[in-house]
Amino acid sequence: MKRTVAIIIERSDIALGGAERSVFELYSALSELGLKVDILAAKGQTNADNIHFLCRNHPGRRTSYCIFAKELKKHLSQHRYDIVHSVLPFDFVDIYQPRGGSYAEAILRNAASYQNKFTEFYKKLTAFANFRRTALLHAEKKLCKNTNGPIVAALSQYVAQQFKHHYHLDDSRIAIVPNGVKINKQTDSSETENLRSKILSQFNINPSAGPVFFLFAANNFRLKGLPSLIRAMSLVPANSNSRPLYLIVVGDDASLKYRRLAKKYNVHNRIVFLGKVRHIQDILSISDVAVLPTFYDPSSRFILEALAAEKPVITTKFNGASDLFTAGLHGIVIDSPQNITALADALDYFTNTDNIKKASRAIASDNLKEKISITRAAQQLIMLYDRIMHGRQL
């Protein structure tokens, strides 16, 4: 008989972002490995038999934590699952897997991303004005204090440390299941060529100039370190051993103030803002290096997808995805997005063709694709499911 799993997510719509997309990729991987998986959501767009919308009759675009909890308990009392796996902090589930890391750390790192002491203090002070976030933070604290609460499945060592530091959660309550993504995604050749032509045209350069394209992809440019990246670009020297550096910025965020910042640092003619792209693998295929000098990321899908495409990466220690590659071999990890000199040095390092090729070869030869695959993540989760089910029988 198939093991049955319920995965709880607030909204069932992959267009909303990386967390939602990750849940659906995980659902597919678990299903392919023989599990029967239901998704329990408050609201959403998908109409599949295995997706249950529990709060459709409640008004509003979003549903409060308390209402969703009530509807979940009602559903779970009427349907039996071997494992209940949630990405939201409910203490009545078996596994809590926070896709965004801990709420406590997210608040602190978001405040730090403003890079201004007064603004940082203000953002910390006013964090609790967001009632929904406050409810989730309190629920997370309660979940950790409950000695019979769920196992926290951390996406990275960074996330595991957050729960130890902020909530003093015991190691026995933490299981590290590194994030994963779909690998071997196919590119669209016509879309790739259109993007290449568009980029060369906007930069007004000829391919013979040998440009090196760095790709930055995010939907929150400030939090993911774009201001630091723009400043670092201005410090990269031009020399005979390097290729000319250009930056492609992808994401659904307002770009005007970042365009102004680029002009201030006189790098505006080396940055192109593409906005939202349909498939990240198409733009990755024409890029040389992925860069994300983030202030906070539990485990960036973008960096993992770049590694799956065998592209070298640059990120920070505040990105849990750094667990899945070796710094100095497959990419570079800097200590802080505020260390502009270190970031500029990392950019400069990868303006050398030999360094790009060396890192790409290492990614391929070390078979990082398997290490970062969603199938590997699903297999580890199944082992955790089995452990929990075995523990009930003792």
Render pLDDT for 125-150 as a digit per residue (tens, 0 to 9).
888 788 888 999 999 999 999 999 99
Query: Rounded to an integer, what is the distance from CA 93 to the centroid of its chain?
Result: 23
Hey, where are the domains in the chain? 4-180+373-393, 189-371
57 by DSSP, 3-state: which? coil
Residue type (1 letter), 377: A
pTM: 0.93
CA 367, CA 308: separation in Å to the nearest integer?
A: 9
Structure tokens, 58:
């409640």
CB atoms within 10 A of CB 295: 24
If DSSP codes are grouped into helix, strand and coil, which group holds residue 148?
Answer: coil
CA distances from 97 to 22, 91, 302 (A): 12, 12, 19
Q: Are 290 and 297 in contact (CB under 8 A)?
A: no
pLDDT tier at 18, thresholds 50, 70, 90 = low
| pLDDT tens, position by position, 200-237 | 888 888 777 789 999 999 999 999 999 999 999 999 98
Q: Tell me which DSSP letter residue 366 carries.
A: T
Beta-carbon contacts of 130 under 8 Å, excluding residues fewer than 6 positions away, are: none
Q: Which CATH number fits domain 189-371: 3.40.50.2300, 3.40.50.300, 3.40.50.2000, 2.130.10.10?
A: 3.40.50.2000
Q: Which residues are CB-contacts of 134 (< 8 A; sequence separation ≥ 6)?
A: 127, 128
Per the DSSP assignment, residues forming a β-bridge with 319 are 297
Question: Do the domains spanning 4-180+373-393 and 189-371 agree at the CATH topology level?
Answer: yes
Q: Residue 394: pLDDT above 80? A: no
Average pLDDT over residues 78-97: 96
Q: Which fold has domain 4-180+373-393?
A: Rossmann fold (3.40.50)
CB 267 within 8 A of CB 230: yes
* Contact yes or no for 122/110 (Cβ under 8 A): no
In which band, very low, low, confident or very high, does the pLDDT at 12 lie, cut at 50, 70 and 90? confident
Rounded Cα distance between 356 and 215, Å, is 14
Neighbours of 312 (CB within 10 A): 27
- pLDDT the model gives residue 95: 97
The tens digit of pLDDT for each residue in 187-207 reads 888 888 888 888 888 888 877
Q: Above 90 in pLDDT, residue 242?
A: no
Across all residues in the chain, what is the average pLDDT?
Answer: 92
pLDDT digits (tens, 9 = 90+) for 308-349: 999 999 999 999 999 999 999 999 999 999 999 999 999 999
